[in-house]
Each structure stands twice: as C-alpha cells, then as structure tokens.
Amino acid sequence: MTYLGYPVLDAATHNMRESISESFARIGTMVENPTGRRTFDDHSGLAFPSRSFTWSATTRAECVALRAFLDACQGRLNVFWVPTYCLDLPLALDGSHLSSTLTIQKIGYLEGLAGVNARSYLAVRCPGQAMVIRRITGAAAIDASSEAIAIDAAPPVDWPQDSTAISFLVLCRLASDMTPLRWHTSGLCEATILFQEVPLEVPAGGP
C-alpha cells in the first residue's frame, strides 16, 4: 500500500511480546557559565519522537517481506508511513459508514493537536477488515467527555466503538542505517526496528 506517494507499513503487525519504547530527542545547545544558571537553547522548537517496532516473520514469505522492507528503506534515507499502534483516538460512539464525522472520547485534540500536520493522518484497524487510512479535516467540541473529528471520507463499513482501534499514521524513517535480524530457523526471524518520526515533513497532497 502507498499513501500520498510513500509506502505504508501495513504488511506487518507489531509483535506486542516486547513493550513499545518511545523517546523524544530535541536539538539544542546547553548554555552555561561558571557563575550563572544553565539554560537550554532549543534550535527546532520541536521534539523528534523515536519508537520501537518488533516485527516477527514466521514463514519464509514473511521473512522475505521483512528483508525487502529494510532493503527498500536504505537505512535512514527513505521515509514511509507507519501506525503508532496505540489507541490514540478512542471512539465514544460507533462510526457510521454514512457519516464522515466521528465522535471520540475527549483527549484534547481540538485544543492541542488540531491543525498539526503530523497528527492529521489516521490508521484505522477493525477486526476482519483491512487497515483504512483517513485524514482529519476538522475538529469540534461536543461536551466535557467527547469531541468530534471530521475525516476526508466516510468509513467503508460501520466501525464498532468497542473493537475499532484508531492510531495516528506518522511519517518516519529508520533511526539507524543498520537493523539486525534475529534468525531462529530458516523460516523464522524477527527484528526490533527503531523508527524516527519526521514531523516537519508533509507529503505533497497533504493539508
């Protein structure tokens, strides 16, 4: 699958056998002198999140897909989309295939994330359905416990509140030029891949 010209990591599901680790790097300079207080000069004004992803390949075909993905990345050169695999926007009501507005539990999206390009794309996973990508086009307050987000197209099917996982879809690159593969047998391998988000980049066709 590709989206806005870049590949989407939808062939693999994060192996939750290992915990997801996250870190946030900031580019800056520590300003200090012998007599004054130390201060930090933030160059970018934005943190760059890194997130681990454990990909377990249990057949020869899956092993080939894992190696092909890493080869295509060419280390830190190429960017791609990957879901956070977190329940970032929990539904407060079922999503209807007749409506392009979703009611979510209040997380402060309107106040803190609306208009942030890096948090405008969604990966929606529903049991028995392929992953669906949507873009948020607007947000509105409803009450103290819920808010509404508008998406660029209605769901292809109804999305049940209790079994639908909505994650942010983020643009990433590998955080290292080398990613070791752990081989258990000739048809069973896995890799713990470290992704680094590139939040300031927006693909052509994005908001």
Q: What is the pTM of this model?
A: 0.81
Q: What is the pLDDT of residue 177?
A: 94
| Stretches in the chain below the pLDDT threshold 70 | 16, 18-20, 23-26, 33-34, 36, 40-47, 201-202, 204-207
Domain spans, the chain: 2-197
pLDDT for 69: 93
Which pLDDT tens digit goes with each residue over 90-115? 999 999 999 999 999 999 999 988 98
Q: What is the pLDDT of residue 169?
A: 94
Question: Contact 95/159 with Cβ under 8 angstroms?
Answer: yes
pLDDT at 127: 87
> In the prediction, which pLDDT does 199 show?
76
Over residues 54-99, the pLDDT tens digits come to 899 999 999 999 999 999 999 999 999 999 888 999 999 999 999 9
